[in-house]
Protein backbone atom coordinates (compact mmCIF):
# COMPACT_ATOMS: atom_id res chain seq x y z
CA UNK A 1 0.00 0.00 0.00
CA UNK A 2 2.93 2.37 0.69
CA UNK A 3 4.19 2.05 -2.90
CA UNK A 4 0.80 3.12 -4.20
CA UNK A 5 1.04 6.58 -2.58
CA UNK A 6 4.52 7.39 -3.93
CA UNK A 7 3.33 8.56 -7.40
CA UNK A 8 0.71 10.83 -5.77
CA UNK A 9 3.28 12.47 -3.50
CA UNK A 10 5.66 12.91 -6.41
CA UNK A 11 2.95 14.52 -8.55
CA UNK A 12 1.84 16.77 -5.69
CA UNK A 13 5.45 17.93 -5.17
CA UNK A 14 5.87 18.60 -8.87
CA UNK A 15 2.60 20.58 -8.93
CA UNK A 16 3.82 22.71 -6.00
CA UNK A 17 7.14 23.37 -7.68
CA UNK A 18 5.49 24.37 -10.96
CA UNK A 19 3.07 26.65 -9.12
CA UNK A 20 6.00 28.36 -7.39
CA UNK A 21 7.85 28.89 -10.68
CA UNK A 22 4.75 30.27 -12.40
CA UNK A 23 3.87 32.63 -9.54
CA UNK A 24 7.39 33.99 -9.04
CA UNK A 25 8.35 34.18 -12.70
CA UNK A 26 11.81 33.69 -14.13
CA UNK A 27 13.35 36.67 -12.33
CA UNK A 28 14.69 38.24 -15.51
CA UNK A 29 12.79 41.51 -15.22
CA UNK A 30 14.22 43.26 -12.17
CA UNK A 31 13.65 46.82 -13.44
CA UNK A 32 11.16 48.69 -11.30
CA UNK A 33 8.30 50.03 -13.41
CA UNK A 34 7.08 52.51 -10.79
CA UNK A 35 10.23 54.60 -10.73
CA UNK A 36 10.51 57.90 -12.62
CA UNK A 37 11.91 57.95 -16.15
CA UNK A 38 15.48 59.16 -16.65
CA UNK A 39 17.19 60.83 -19.60
CA UNK A 40 20.83 60.58 -20.64
CA UNK A 41 23.04 63.25 -19.07
CA UNK A 42 26.68 63.81 -19.98
CA UNK A 43 29.23 66.53 -19.54
CA UNK A 44 32.82 67.51 -18.98
CA UNK A 45 34.69 68.94 -16.01
CA UNK A 46 37.74 71.17 -16.51
CA UNK A 47 39.82 72.95 -13.88
CA UNK A 48 41.87 76.00 -14.90
CA UNK A 49 41.47 74.91 -18.53
CA UNK A 50 42.50 71.24 -18.20
CA UNK A 51 40.35 68.11 -17.92
CA UNK A 52 39.77 66.68 -14.45
CA UNK A 53 40.14 62.91 -14.19
CA UNK A 54 38.56 60.94 -11.34
CA UNK A 55 36.24 63.63 -9.99
CA UNK A 56 32.83 62.71 -8.58
CA UNK A 57 30.07 64.80 -10.15
CA UNK A 58 26.83 64.88 -8.17
CA UNK A 59 23.52 66.34 -9.30
CA UNK A 60 21.47 67.10 -6.15
CA UNK A 61 17.79 67.56 -6.86
CA UNK A 62 16.29 70.94 -5.99
CA UNK A 63 13.04 69.14 -5.15
CA UNK A 64 12.85 67.94 -1.51
CA UNK A 65 11.62 64.51 -2.60
CA UNK A 66 13.81 64.38 -5.71
CA UNK A 67 16.49 61.83 -6.40
CA UNK A 68 20.04 62.82 -7.33
CA UNK A 69 22.44 61.34 -9.84
CA UNK A 70 26.21 60.81 -9.89
CA UNK A 71 29.04 60.16 -12.31
CA UNK A 72 32.84 59.94 -12.29
CA UNK A 73 35.00 61.75 -14.82
CA UNK A 74 37.31 59.86 -17.16
CA UNK A 75 40.80 60.91 -18.30
CA UNK A 76 39.26 63.54 -20.61
CA UNK A 77 37.07 64.97 -17.83
CA UNK A 78 33.92 63.49 -19.40
CA UNK A 79 31.15 61.99 -17.27
CA UNK A 80 27.84 60.20 -17.70
CA UNK A 81 25.28 60.27 -14.88
CA UNK A 82 23.66 57.35 -13.09
CA UNK A 83 20.46 57.43 -11.05
CA UNK A 84 19.21 53.83 -10.82
CA UNK A 85 21.40 51.79 -13.17
CA UNK A 86 24.82 52.47 -14.65
CA UNK A 87 24.65 55.27 -17.21
CA UNK A 88 20.86 55.69 -17.14
CA UNK A 89 21.09 59.47 -16.66
CA UNK A 90 18.99 61.70 -14.41
CA UNK A 91 15.33 62.43 -13.79
CA UNK A 92 14.28 65.67 -15.56
CA UNK A 93 14.36 68.61 -13.16
CA UNK A 94 16.51 71.30 -11.53
CA UNK A 95 19.76 70.39 -9.80
CA UNK A 96 22.50 71.93 -7.71
CA UNK A 97 25.80 70.40 -8.83
CA UNK A 98 28.89 69.45 -6.86
CA UNK A 99 32.27 68.31 -8.10
CA UNK A 100 34.78 66.72 -5.73
CA UNK A 101 38.14 65.09 -6.12
CA UNK A 102 40.07 63.96 -3.08
CA UNK A 103 43.11 61.89 -2.28
CA UNK A 104 43.84 60.09 0.98
CA UNK A 105 47.38 60.54 2.29
CA UNK A 106 48.96 58.43 5.00
CA UNK A 107 46.84 55.32 4.41
CA UNK A 108 48.64 52.40 6.10
CA UNK A 109 48.58 48.76 5.08
CA UNK A 110 47.16 46.19 7.50
CA UNK A 111 50.71 45.10 8.39
CA UNK A 112 51.79 48.67 9.17
CA UNK A 113 48.67 49.26 11.27
CA UNK A 114 49.24 46.02 13.21
CA UNK A 115 52.86 47.02 13.88
CA UNK A 116 51.65 50.19 15.60
CA UNK A 117 49.22 48.22 17.77
CA UNK A 118 51.89 45.64 18.66
CA UNK A 119 54.07 48.50 19.97
CA UNK A 120 51.11 49.79 21.98
CA UNK A 121 50.73 52.85 19.77
CA UNK A 122 47.79 54.29 17.90
CA UNK A 123 48.40 54.50 14.14
CA UNK A 124 48.21 57.96 12.57
CA UNK A 125 44.88 58.92 11.03
CA UNK A 126 44.94 59.17 7.23
CA UNK A 127 44.28 62.68 5.92
CA UNK A 128 41.90 63.47 3.07
CA UNK A 129 43.06 66.27 0.80
CA UNK A 130 40.86 68.16 -1.67
CA UNK A 131 42.38 68.42 -5.14
CA UNK A 132 39.76 70.97 -6.23
CA UNK A 133 38.63 74.10 -4.38
CA UNK A 134 36.33 72.98 -1.52
CA UNK A 135 33.55 75.37 -2.62
CA UNK A 136 32.71 72.94 -5.43
CA UNK A 137 31.71 70.30 -2.85
CA UNK A 138 28.80 72.47 -1.60
CA UNK A 139 25.67 72.53 -3.82
CA UNK A 140 24.71 76.02 -2.54
CA UNK A 141 28.23 77.47 -2.73
CA UNK A 142 29.50 75.83 -5.91
CA UNK A 143 27.63 78.16 -8.25
CA UNK A 144 26.99 75.12 -10.46
CA UNK A 145 23.44 74.27 -11.55
CA UNK A 146 21.79 72.15 -14.21
CA UNK A 147 18.32 71.93 -15.71
CA UNK A 148 17.78 68.41 -17.05
CA UNK A 149 14.99 68.35 -19.64
CA UNK A 150 13.09 65.61 -21.37
CA UNK A 151 14.04 65.76 -25.03
CA UNK A 152 16.85 68.27 -24.41
CA UNK A 153 20.55 67.91 -25.17
CA UNK A 154 21.44 67.53 -21.46
CA UNK A 155 25.18 68.00 -21.93
CA UNK A 156 26.77 70.10 -19.21
CA UNK A 157 30.29 71.53 -19.31
CA UNK A 158 31.59 72.67 -15.90
CA UNK A 159 34.63 74.97 -16.04
CA UNK A 160 36.10 75.18 -12.53
CA UNK A 161 38.59 77.87 -11.48
CA UNK A 162 40.43 78.85 -8.30
Q: What's this model's pTM, rounded to 2 decimal places? A: 0.73
Report how far residue 128's alpha carbon sits from residue 105's, in angstroms, rounded to the nearest whole number: 6
Pair 75, 58: CB distance under 8 Å: no
pLDDT (tens digit per residue) in 8-49: 454 455 454 445 444 444 544 455 568 899 999 999 999 999
Structural domains of the chain, ranges and CATH numbers in brackets: 42-101+131-160 (2.60.40)
Percent of the chain, pLDDT > 70?
A: 80
Amino acid sequence: MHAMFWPCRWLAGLACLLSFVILTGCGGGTEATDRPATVEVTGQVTYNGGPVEGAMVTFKSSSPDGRGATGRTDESGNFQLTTFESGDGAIPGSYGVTVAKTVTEGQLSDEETNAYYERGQTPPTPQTKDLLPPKYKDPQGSGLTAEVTEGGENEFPFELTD
